[in-house]
Amino acid sequence: MPALSKRAQSLGTENAFVVLAEVTALAAQGKDIISFCIGQPDFPAPLHVQEAGIRAIREGKHGYTPSAGIDPLREAAAKYMAGMRGGLPIRAQDVVIGAGAKPFIAYAILCTTDFGAGDEVIYPNPGFPIYESQIIACGAKPVPVQLREARDFAFDPAELEKLITPKTKLLVLNYPHNPTGGLLNRSSLEQIAKILQKHPHVWVYADEIYSRLCYSGEFFSIAQVPGMYERTIISDGASKTWAMTGWRIGFASNPELAPHFTRWITNTESCASQISQWAALEAITGPQDAAEMMKKSFFERGQLIVRLLNEVPGVTCRTPGGAFYAWPNVTEACRMVGAKDSEEFRKRLLNEAGVAVLADIHFGSRVPGEGQHLRFSYAASKLAIEQGVARMADFIRRNTRKVA
Ligand SMILES: Cc1ncc(COP(=O)(O)O)c(C=O)c1O
């Protein structure tokens, strides 16, 4: 058998998909599982968006589009992204449409680092696992900046400053944050920008896919800080805001890099689905009541799950500032049931209590001194939240008795 490349052998993954396969297999055996695994809205795309997709099919919009996307969508996305971010001067030609926001992570790394040259990329840990896997696959050096519970999972700009070297090419920011739900507030972003002023060789990738799901006031982008716009790649998309994960539409903007992203798309998927692009145009320009309703619903469910998790023995949970993730600390719960870590706890929770969640190790190496965490995606019904957390509490109580 011919050999596999080292790159293919060492490629990381998004474990949500791996655990989802486990959950699906258990469900197929008839097990009753309540799942908090997958990071996507539990709503369908709004009806008028579905209809726009159907219309595009009926109108024969079946072919390739320019790699950067159809002009009306680039224009609408530019206006939308600017409007969400204090009126930044984003033009249609600065925006590229992709098959989801995810591909832009790789394109940004590919555009700013060289393979094997020792170029460094700083990224949040815990964090969306694709940052680290793509940094490594693209031949750059991953440099995690640690997020800490005491700071509500916003990293300390002083810690960031210590990590920047002449080899740093890219800083990845993500807020609202997956997996912790944490935010970077305006003052932190201004401090980060001040640090970056001293390091003009560093690009910023602002992963703002959850920008519409920010619960504490208006969303603020690092690109809005004076001097940051030109060097910031803003990434956003349709997946989370309009419940369109499977439609695969993302948009990234940067005046310098847009043509390079376009060329990467020509080299990979050619273009995003034309049908989805017309639907996304409707999502952006049409009525926003569904998006607002979903946001309100996620906010309420966030309040509910945090309250319930904090009532579970051995569990404490911070209130997320955005997205639809809760990141409870289960260090004490692990001790109570005799689980050596969050991953063992997660497996037992799945197999013995029928509750599917992800563990901290699915989002990077555990931060030293920060204990054990789980990720709950609370894009689930209120009933599922109540029953799922009750099962977890029951599991801990039952097993604590055995250990004691
Ligand atoms: C932080 C973060 N960035 C990017 C993405 C990718 O989203 P998309 O569906 O637009 O590819 C996700 C999806 O889970 C995410 O959590």
CATH code of the domain covering residue 272: 3.40.640.10
Shared-domain flag, residues 72 and 165: yes
Under DSSP, is residue 221 helix (H, G, I), strand (E, B) or coil?
Answer: coil
Q: What separation in Å is there between the alpha carbon of 338 and the centre of ligand 1?
A: 34
Residue of 107, 178, 183, 209 to mutate, ligand 1, most atoms within 8 A of C-beta: 209
Q: For the domain that residue 365 is a member of, what is the CATH number? A: 3.90.1150.10
Shared-domain flag, residues 357 and 380: yes
Burial class (CB in 10 A: 0-12, 13-18, 19+), 401: exposed
Residue that finishes a domain, picked among 261, 285, 309: 285
323 within domain boundaries: yes
Chain segment 342-366, per-residue pLDDT in tens: 999 999 999 999 999 999 999 999 9
49 within domain boundaries: no
Chain segment 298-351, per-residue pLDDT in tens: 999 999 999 999 999 999 999 999 999 999 999 999 999 999 999 999 999 999
Q: Residue 291 and residue 100: Cα distance in Å, rounded?
A: 18
Whether the per-residue pLDDT at 403 is higher than 70: the answer is no
Shared-domain flag, residues 179 and 261: yes
Range of the domain at 103: 61-285
Q: Residue 253 and residue 248: Cα distance in Å, rounded?
A: 17
| pLDDT (0 to 100) of residue 17 | 82
Shared-domain flag, residues 205 and 152: yes
Under DSSP, is residue 312 helix (H, G, I), strand (E, B) or coil?
Answer: coil
Residue of 42, 130, 239 to mutate, ligand 1, most atoms within 8 A of C-beta: 239
Locate 90 and state its tokens. Answer: 């984003």
Shared-domain flag, residues 256 and 109: yes
The counts of H helices and E strands in the chain are 14, 12
Q: Taking each helix axis from N to C terminus, what angle separates 47-58 and 274-285, rounded to the nearest 10 degrees?
A: 140
Q: Residue 178 and residue 239: Cα distance in Å, rounded?
A: 14
User: Of ligand 1's atoms, which has the minimum distance to the CA of residue 101?
Assistant: 10
CA Rg, the chain, in Å? 21
44 within domain boundaries: no
Shared-domain flag, residues 312 and 389: yes
Q: How many domains does the chain have?
A: 2
Which residue reads 């519409």 in tokens?
A: 212
Which residue reads 């400053």 in tokens?
A: 161
Does the Cβ of 97 fall within 6 Å of ligand 1? no
Whether the per-residue pLDDT at 395 is higher than 60: the answer is yes
Residue that finishes a domain, picked among 263, 285, 307: 285
Whats the size of the chain, residue-wise?
A: 404
Q: Which of 282, 306, 344 is nearest to 56 (CA)?
A: 282
Q: Which of 372, 389, 392 is nearest to 332 (CA)?
A: 372
